[in-house]
Amino acid sequence: MRRLAILLGLGILFLVPQIAHADQCLVRPVYTGSGLNDFHLVPNRPCSSLVPKPPVPDGKVIGTGIIYLYANDEARYSSLNNVLHAVNQLEGTLIYPGEVFSFNRSAKLLEKTIPYDLGPDVSNNLVKAGGVCMVSTLVATAAHDAGLPFINERGRLIKKPVPHSRFYRYYHQVNFINGHDVPIVEAAVAIQKDAADEPWKTVKDLQFVNTSGHILVLHFEPSFTVYDLNLAEPFGLIQRDHSLKVELRALPLGFDALFTQFDTAAVQ
Residue 75's pLDDT is 61
If one compares 215 and 155, the residue with the highest pLDDT of the two is: 215
Residue 55 pLDDT grade (very low, low, confident, very high; cuts 50, 70, 90): confident
User: Is the per-residue pLDDT at 95 higher than 60?
Assistant: yes
Range in 97-101, 225-229, 262-266 with the lowest mean pLDDT: 262-266
Containing structural domain, residue 157:
2-267
**What average pLDDT does this structure show over 62-85?**
80
Report the C-alpha gap between 254 and 236 in whole angstroms.
42
Q: Give the lowest-confidence range in 2-11, 17-26, 162-171.
A: 17-26
More confident residue, 160 or 53: 160
Percent of the chain as helix, strand, coil, to the nearest 5:
25, 25, 50
What are the CA-CA distances from residue 93 to residues 29, 120, 127 (Å)?
27, 26, 25
Cβ partners under 8 Å of residue 168, min gap 6: 74, 75, 186
**Number of folded domains in the chain?**
1
For residue 162, the 8-state DSSP code is -
Residues 73, 206, 211: CA angle, nearest 5 degrees: 125
Residue 140 has pLDDT above 60, yes or no: yes
* Per-residue pLDDT band at 122 (split at 50, 70, 90): confident
Is pLDDT larger for residue 171 or for residue 149?
149
Q: Which band of pLDDT confidence, cut at 50, 70 and 90, is reported for residue 74?
A: low
Please tell me the predicted confidence (pLDDT) of residue 185: 95
**CA angle, 258 then 261 then 267, to 5°:** 145
Q: Tell me if 231 sits within 8 A of 29, measured CB to CB.
A: yes
216-236 residue pLDDT tens: 999 999 988 877 776 666 555
Helices of type H across 128-252: 133-145
**What is the mean predicted confidence (pLDDT) over 79-93?**
90
Q: Of residues 87 and 128, which shows the higher confidence score?
A: 87
Range name among 47-61, 62-76, 101-115 with the lowest pLDDT average: 47-61
Whether residue 125 contacts residue 36, with contact meaning beta carbons closer than 8 Å, is answered with: no
pTM of the model: 0.76
pLDDT digits (tens, 9 = 90+) for 196-212: 788 888 989 999 999 99
Look at 239 and 240; give whichever has higher pLDDT: 240
Predicted pLDDT at 176: 93
